[in-house]
Amino acid sequence: MIRRMLVAAGLAVLAMAGTASAASFEDVARNVERRLGMSRTRMPGVGFLMNSFVAVSRPGGASSVKLATFERENGRYRADVFQAAVKESCEGWMPVVQVWSKWDGEEVSLYVRPAGKKWELLIATSEPAEGTLVYLKIPGRNLLEWLKDKAVLRKGLETGVQ
């Protein structure tokens, strides 16, 4: 009996340690899937294409990029529901920027966390037809440049939108 309790306690501690650590891009995407009750759209080959593009053009100085897309099906979620799902899934990430665009119904949120001399960015974009999660890794100074100038910030966020 005591042994079982100890094992249960140990598992609980491990589970707590797991939740306390920062969520990875995959964790966030999986949590969003679970919260929205739908799977992300699978696009074979897109990851390879995106990484090739990033390796050549380095948008926003990015060295790594990951993408997850959630297509809205028959009004299954609203844009704010998508953003709320991302926010609740982003443990260990700092929300820094939010942009709302009334006309195109677009909302963009930027979450960041440090990674050595770089920043890891998570850009969540919700449009009327779909929600997108983009992960980028950029040099430390680049984020400062994004924050200095609104036009640069917009261009950087567009990396996630496009």
Partner 1 sequence: MRTKLVVCLFAVAGMMAAQQVKLPASLDKLAEKAKESTSVTLGPEMLSLATKFMDSKKSDEAEAKKIATKLRGVYIRSFEFEKEGDYTDADFSDLRAQLKSPEWTPIVVTKSKKETSEIYTHRDGGMLILSAEPRELTIVNIVGNITAEDIGGLSGQFGVPNIKSTHGKSTGAAVKKDEE
Q: Does 94 bind partner 1 (CB under 8 A)?
A: yes
Who's near 150: CB < 8 A, 6+ residues apart? Answer: none
DSSP 95-132: EEEEEEETTTTEEEEEEEEEETTEEEEEEEEE-SSEEE
DSSP of 12-32, one letter per residue? HHHHHHHHHSPPPHHHHHHHH
The token duo for 6 is 């100890």
Is 23:31 a contact under the CB 8 Å cutoff?
Answer: yes
Q: What is the token pair recorded at 143?
A: 């984020």
* Least distance to partner 1, CB of residue 117, Å: 8
Whichever of 58 and 150 has its CB closer to partner 1, that residue is 150
Q: Which stretch binds partner 1 (CB under 8 A): 15-23, 25-33, 52-60, 146-154?
A: 146-154
**Site membership for partner 1, residue 144 (CB under 8 A):** yes
Tell me the CA end-to-end span of the chain in Å, nearest whole number: 57
Nearest approach, Cβ of residue 45 and partner 1 (Å): 34
Q: Which region among 41-49, 59-67, 109-117, 126-134 touches partner 1 (by CB under 8 A)?
A: 109-117
Contact with partner 1 (CB under 8 A) among 53, 98, 105, 128: 98
Check binding of 20 to partner 1 (CB under 8 A).
no
If binding is defined by CB under 8 A, does position 141 make contact with partner 1?
Answer: yes
Q: Which residues bind partner 1 (CB under 8 A)?
A: 94-103, 112, 114, 117, 140-141, 143-144, 147-148, 150, 153
